[in-house]
Structures are given as structure tokens and as C-alpha cells.
Structure 1
């Protein structure tokens, strides 16, 4: 068993597509129109055959309370692996990304958390070597 696809609920698919591709560096795998939305999945350019990230419209009534509660408590909805948290923090900060937690030593990993501009907090992490 392996992860095939996982979702991040986004308030605006176009805005999310722009942020996740242009700023974070993901690559669009599928962008299939489905009424007012799209089946919009992204992959890492480093692993195009790997797990897909679905930028799912945050339309269901349960999404807003769920996301609002997580964000209020500072809990990320997803964690992305990077080679070097400090370097990625500096790169993203230079692009205007707002971090809610800067690089932090969390034992065996370094982590940082940012706002994805689409209603979510996202964590980046790297194992300390």
C-alpha cells in the first residue's frame, strides 16, 4: 500500500495553483475542468510518478470549521519534505511567503510553518543530518 493522492482544501483553485506551482515549485499533473472547478493535482518535479496533491475546492460545509480550528491552533494541514528547512525558509520568505513559525529544532527534524494564502497552514520539514 502507498499514498496515491492526498487533498488540501483550498478557497480558490486558481490562486492555489499559482502559489503551489510558481512559489512552492510543484508541477501540474492533472487540470481537468469539472463544472466550476477542476480535478487539479500537482506532483513534485523531483518525483513526477509519486504521490499527487489534490487542490480540492473548500466547498463542503465541514471544511471551513475544520480549517478554521486547525489554523487557530497553529496546526498545519500537510507537511512537505525539503532538503534544508533554513534554506527553504529564506527562499520562500524572499518571495513574500508569510511564516507563522520560523525554522525550529524539533528533535530529529527541523520544521517551519507558513500560510499557503488559500486557507491553510503548511509545514516544511527536513531530517537533521
Structure 2
């Protein structure tokens, strides 16, 4: 069994697509509509056939309440891993990303968090090298 898809709810799919592609550097994988429904996914350019991240429009009241609550608590909705958090931090800032937390050493890793402009905190993690 493999994980091929995970979902993040966003309040605006166009803004989310711009953020996840132009700022974070992911690649659009799927984008098609059926009436008012839009299926939109991105993937890592390092693994284009790997796990997809669905950017789902958050029009479900229960999901919206959850999204807002974890955002207000400062919890990330999604976490991505990197081998060079310093370089990614600089690249993302240069692309217009705004960090809520600059790279910070914590037990076993260095983490940074930024707002995806669509209702979510995104965490970037670099595991410590032992």
C-alpha cells in the first residue's frame, strides 16, 4: 500500500495554486472541473509521480471550522521535508513567502512555518543529521 494523495483545504484555489507552485516550487499535476467542482493537485518536482497534494476548496462548514481552529492555535496543516532548510527559506522568501517562524532548531530537527495565504500554516522541516 502507498499514500498517493493527501488533501489540504484552501479558501481560494487560484491563490493556493499560485502559492504552492510559484512560492513553494511544486508543480501542477491535475486541474479539471466538473460543474462547480474543481480537482486540483500539485506534486514535488523531485518526485512528479509521487504523492499528490490536493488543493480542495474549503466549502464544508465542518472542515472550515477545523481549518480555522488549527490555524488560530498555530498548528501547521501540512508538513514538508527538505535537506536544506536555509536555502529553501531564502528561496521562498525571495518568491514572496512570508514566514511566521524563521528556521528554528528544535529537538531532532530545524523547522520553519509560513502562511499559505489560503487559511493554513505550512511547516518545513529538516531532520537533524546525527
TM-score (norm 2): 0.93
Deviations 1:96-115 (A, max 9, x none): 21111111112221110000
Match of 1:94 in 2: 94
- 5+ residue gaps in structure 1? none
Runs of 4+ displaced beyond 2 Å: none
Partner of 2:71: 71
Report the secondary structure of 2:69's partner residue: helix
The Cα shift of 1:94 comes to: 2.3
Query: Paired residue for 1:3?
Result: 3
Deviations 1:43-79 (A, max 9, x none): 1110011100000000001122111111111000000
Give the alignment's TM-score, normalised by structure 1. 0.94
The unaligned stretches of length 5 or more in structure 2 are none
Deviation at 1:37, TM superposition (A): 3.5
Rounded to whole Å, the distance in 2 between the matches of 1:34 and 1:57 is 13
Instruction: Give the SS at the match of 1:62.
Output: helix
Q: How does 1:110-129 map to 2 (within 5 A)?
A: 110-129=110-129
Q: What is the DSSP-based 3-state SS (H/G/I as helix, E as strand, rest coil) of the residue aligned with 2:53?
A: strand
Q: Is the 8 A contact 2:77 2:122 kept in 1?
A: yes
Distance 2:124 2:30 in 1: 24
